[in-house]
Amino acid sequence: MSPERIRNENYSYAADIWSLGLTALECATGRYPYDVNGGEADLMLQILEDPSPTPPQHMHSEEFCSFIDACLQKDADARPTCDQLLSHSFIKKYEGPGVDLAEYNKSVHDPAERLSQIAHMLAVHYYLIFDGGDDQWRHMKSFYGQDSTFSFSGETHVGKSDIFDTLSRIREMLKGNSRCEKIGRVMEKVYCRAHGEEGMSVRVSGSFIMGNEFLVCADGFCAEGMLSIVELSPDILSKQAGHFQEDFFMEPGTAMGCYVISRQELHIGVS
């Protein structure tokens, strides 16, 4: 776990770069870089307070040591991006014939299962951010590209900034003026299918309820840390304030395995 995650700060892909460095170092040395005998609390203190582990320079090349040191910088903003690591001298030194990683991924993963996983991941993360705190809300922009469109109430908005502003207004409307006026969502159904050659479409439907929580009640799916449908209060449907259906059309982003919402349509009905 990276230092910023231990400190319970906001984190991004830089945390994965930290994990990459630890994994590569463990593979090279044959042992985990930290002493785990003292328990989890001691391990976290080591990560926060001790210098980052580094490969023995007399056993490993200068390029490899530089690669690990770059990945294991305590300051998340100082760690290199994936693209920068691909240009690192350690990677370039062993660079061979090009490999199509996207095609390889297709060959080792069940496309239908992968499609379902991405659909549920999108739905849960999207609505968690939508119904979450203001510190997380700014990350909503990362779901969209400059040519993305969002349609709602007869209007179409283009580009991540325009879409973000519109979503912000909808979010404020659902929050109400007080905690007791807030309208939450119950995600009841998620459908997904392939869209075009590499894209996918996801349809999410459910209810609005008077309440503070985002709930997931889709059949066969349970989000970690959330109540299941059997644990919900029997009067949950009595709090229903409306229903929604949202269609997301996803296209591959610039990074492998990442998608952006190219088109989105929101339909809201009042009970």
pLDDT confidence tier of residue 179, bands split at 50, 70 and 90: low
Residues 151 and 210 in one domain: yes
Residues 32 and 119 in one domain: no
- Neighbour-count burial for 217-231, b at 16+ CB within 10 Å, e otherwise: bbeebebeeeeeeee
Task: State the pTM of this model.
Answer: 0.56
- 154 pLDDT exceeds 70? yes
Range of the domain at 170: 106-270
What was the pLDDT predicted at 220?
Answer: 45
Give the model confidence (pLDDT) of 86-118 as tens digits: 999 999 988 776 767 667 766 766 667 777 777
Q: How many domains does the chain have?
A: 2
Report the 10 Å Cβ neighbour count for 235: 7
Span 163-177, average pLDDT: 87
Residues 149 and 89 in one domain: no
